[in-house]
Structure 1
Amino acid sequence: MTSQNASLNVTEFIIGGFDAVKTPMAVGVVILIVYVVALLANITNILLITYDKKLHKPMYLLICNLAVVDILYTSSASPTMIGVLVAGVKTISYVPCLIQMFAFNLGTVMEMFSLAVMAFDRLLAVSCPFHYHSYLTNARTLVLTYILWIAACGFVAFCPATVIHLTHCYSVLMYAFCGYAALIRTTCVDPNYYFNMIAIITFFLLFLTFTFICLSYVGIVFFVKLSSNNEKLKMGSTCLNHLIVVTCYYCPIFVTAILTRLGVVLTLQAHNGLLIGTILGPSVVNPFVYCFRTKEIKCKIMKMFQKN
């Protein structure tokens, strides 16, 4: 390995995050199976909502957007990890590495934004049931979604903008794929400055979106208390889907992004395990939650099987 004072002309990186894994093939096959299931489930959700005009409503458009985000999120890193573990391909070129970092971070930010706007959608549905469709139309939902994607790209552009001009002293990535932290650790600079900057941005986005979700549910609980028992059951069932998805996403994020900055030390294996869980967990849970717990989508799937 090159000394820290001498910079390298890096054209490709070596992914070394799985070097300590004793059974790489088994781990790779598990990731492959979960990835394929997540991909097929999310594509199914998108196709069902796209081709059924009865599902062209704000809530289902947001579910469709979440499915797109999940595909981007899990596809940003899973193929690389599968290639390393199953095929033994441990190298990735410089430009694809930067693209992978951008795609992964974009998926991370959009997952937060999508869950936040879905919480707002549920708040409107509960607090203004008679005016819901006039307040949140399909056109407004699409415009809001576009704005979120543009805002997310703006936040994520920070990562390649800070990395691309830095010189590299190492060519080995210590993590499972091309993440921001992995790339910064290959440079010749003190990583703490860049880690602190990204930690501030991450904390801001986590705090903003999670607080917004919590406040939305405070409002939902308030309006549910004023409703009849039948309405409470219906509202509770609708919101439970979203709560499951929120819990599945934010729990590992809080552990990796917040606790580690507060002094909690994670081993490389533990860090990679949490990161893989963060990527694959929500992407495979979300479509099944909305398939089996959303009445209209579930009925559509049942009709398809009955016809066959």
Structure 2
Amino acid sequence: MIVIKKVIFYSSQEEGACHTMQGHTGKEASGEAWQEAGRGPWNHSSTVGFILTSLFNESPMDLFLFSMVVIIYTLAMVGNTAMVFLIWADAQLHTPMYFLLSQLSFLDIFFTSVTVPKMIAGFLFGWTSISFVGCGAQMFFFMFLGAAECLLLALMAYDRYVAICNPLHYLSLMSHQTCLLMVAASWLGGSINASIQTALTLQFPYCGSRRITHFFCEVPSLLRLACADTAAYERLLFVTGVVVLLVPIVFITTSYALILAAVLGMHSVEGRQKALATCTSHLTVVNLFYGPLMYTYMLPASYHSPGQDDVVSIFYTVLTPMLNPVIYSLRNKEVTGAMKKVIGKCGVGRTA
């Protein structure tokens, strides 16, 4: 009788749990409820993944902001694609500076596409779930492309230093092979950084809620769900931030300090204005990109909040990739000249 009672008791518990789970809508809600119930740690061995928080709701203001994000993302894709095409099509732009600039636009195309399309699909169709593997892939490519862009911006500062401070040796110091090595180094550094960070982040056990308080899988947001001590890893994350962010910033600052000293010593007013315009464009891009990244990856977790993280992330995932081609093209006569040539050729072709 005692055994029978125990069996009946456990059966009623399981039946009640099943009814509770059936009350949720869909498979994802079911999986989330089990996690909320505290069934213990889970990770890649689990059949469920994560739930991303939508950046917007259905209020009129959020609908307007969502429309603005879509427009900015579209402009970023069109602007950066146009920059890559112009630099490839115009022989006058086949110089080291524009080669590096085309690589920057190329990185921006994929960098913003890692997160924004998923965010748009989540808002429009409710596809907010993401598998464990998908989350890891998104995190890897985001950090890979972001770190590669950080390193590339530092190398672009070196290119401007050589062009302004050592113009007679520019072609020898910035040969085609050197430019290819620079790009390869930025890609290699980004891939190493992303591989280490992704592997270390995903090795933690995750338990409780599957809901990430962010619109994409980013390391700080994911660590909040880990049911393990992440203090040592967060210190390692800070060290990585120093290497990937602060070291390039020091390199960039030094390069532009030397450039400024050289520019102030120029006798040609026109040459001084051209050098200052180019350097100002580069520094604007650097500040727009590095500032938000330093907030995300170098400030302690106590300084972060989900709302602030969303705003900062939108800044460097959507806004900066859109501004890069605008900053470089509108203040650059060679790019605007190449654009006019292409438009003129298209107009002649249509007339013919």
- Structure 1 and Structure 2 fold alike (TM over 0.5): yes
Indicate the residue corresponding to 1:30 in structure 2. 68
Kindly provide the amino acid, as one letter, of the partner of residue 255 in structure 2.
S
Residue 5 of structure 1 and its aligned partner are, at CA, apart by 7.0
Higher relative contact order (CA 8 A, sep 6+): 1
Task: Return the alpha-carbon distance in structure 2 between the equivalents of residues 95 and 206 of structure 1.
Answer: 27
Task: Could you tell me which runs of 5 or more consecutive residues in structure 2 were left unpaired when the two chains were aligned.
Answer: 1-34, 348-352
Indicate the residue corresponding to 2:14 in structure 1. none
Indicate the residue corresponding to 2:36 in structure 1. 2
Q: Structure 2 vs 1, CA of residues 150 and 21 (structure 1 numbering), >3 Å: closer, same or farther?
A: farther
Indicate the residue corresponding to 1:249 in structure 2. 289
Look up the SS of the partner of 1:157 in the other structure: helix
Is 1:121 matched with 2:159? yes
Which string of whole-angstrom CA distances, capped at 9 and with x for unpartnered residues, describes residues 80-110 of structure 1? 1112223221111221211110111112211
Which string of whole-angstrom CA distances, capped at 9 and with x for unpartnered residues, describes residues 245-276 of structure 1? 11211222233334x3285x343212211111
Look up the SS of the partner of 1:131 in the other structure: helix
Indicate the residue corresponding to 1:156 in structure 2. 194
1:113-192 equivalences under 5 Å are 113-169=151-207, 170-192=209-231
Indicate the residue corresponding to 2:262 in structure 1. 223
Task: Return the alpha-carbon distance in structure 1 between the equivalents of residues 65 and 124 of structure 2.
Answer: 8
Is 1:232 matched with 2:277? no
Q: Structure 2 vs 1, CA of residues 270 and 20 (structure 1 numbering), >3 Å: closer, same or farther?
A: farther
Residue 21 of structure 1 and its aligned partner are, at CA, apart by 7.8
Task: Could you tell me which runs of 5 or more consecutive residues in structure 1 were left unpaired when the two chains were aligned.
Answer: none
Task: Return the alpha-carbon distance in structure 1 between the equivalents of residues 218 and 301 of structure 2.
Answer: 20
Task: Return the alpha-carbon distance in structure 2 between the equivalents of residues 202 and 141 of structure 1.
Answer: 25
TM-score when scaled to structure 2? 0.81
Residue 177 of structure 1 and its aligned partner are, at CA, apart by 0.6
Kindly provide the amino acid, as one letter, of the partner of residue 139 in structure 2.
M
Aligned-residue CA RMSD (Å): 2.1
Q: 2:148 aligns with which of 79, 104, 110?
A: 110
Look up the SS of the partner of 2:206 in the other structure: coil
Moved more, 119-128 or 298-307: 298-307
Is 1:88 matched with 2:122? no
Indicate the residue corresponding to 1:261 in structure 2. 300
Q: 2:49 aligns with which of 12, 15, 20?
A: 12
Equivalent pair of 1:245/1:282 in contact (CA under 8 Å): yes
Task: Specify the structure having the higher radius of gyration (Cα).
Answer: 2
Residue 14 of structure 1 and its aligned partner are, at CA, apart by 0.7
Give me the identity figure in percent: 26
TM-score when scaled to structure 1? 0.92
Task: Return the alpha-carbon distance in structure 1 between the equivalents of residues 271 and 338 of structure 2.
Answer: 24
Residue 53 of structure 1 and its aligned partner are, at CA, apart by 2.5
Task: Return the alpha-carbon distance in structure 2 between the equivalents of residues 237 and 97 of structure 1.
Answer: 41
Q: Structure 2 vs 1, CA of residues 200 and 17 (structure 1 numbering), >3 Å: closer, same or farther?
A: farther
Moved more, 212-221 or 158-167: 158-167
Task: Return the alpha-carbon distance in structure 1 between the equivalents of residues 112 and 311 of structure 2.
Answer: 14
Residue 17 of structure 1 and its aligned partner are, at CA, apart by 5.2
Q: Structure 2 vs 1, CA of residues 202 and 10 (structure 1 numbering), >3 Å: closer, same or farther?
A: farther
Equivalent pair of 1:100/1:178 in contact (CA under 8 Å): yes
Q: Structure 2 vs 1, CA of residues 153 and 201 (structure 1 numbering), >3 Å: closer, same or farther?
A: same
Task: Return the alpha-carbon distance in structure 2 between the equivalents of residues 291 and 234 of structure 1.
Answer: 14
Is 1:306 matched with 2:344? yes
Task: Return the alpha-carbon distance in structure 1 between the equivalents of residues 294 and 202 of structure 2.
Answer: 28
Equivalent pair of 1:184/1:194 in contact (CA under 8 Å): no
Is 1:214 matched with 2:253? yes
Task: Return the alpha-carbon distance in structure 1 between the equivalents of residues 65 and 122 of structure 2.
Answer: 11
Look up the SS of the partner of 2:168 in the other structure: coil
Indicate the residue corresponding to 2:241 in structure 1. 202
Residue 112 of structure 1 and its aligned partner are, at CA, apart by 1.0
Residue 28 of structure 1 and its aligned partner are, at CA, apart by 2.7
Task: Return the alpha-carbon distance in structure 1 between the equivalents of residues 285 and 56 of structure 2.
Answer: 32
Look up the SS of the partner of 1:14 in the other structure: strand
1:34-113 equivalences under 5 Å are 34-113=72-151
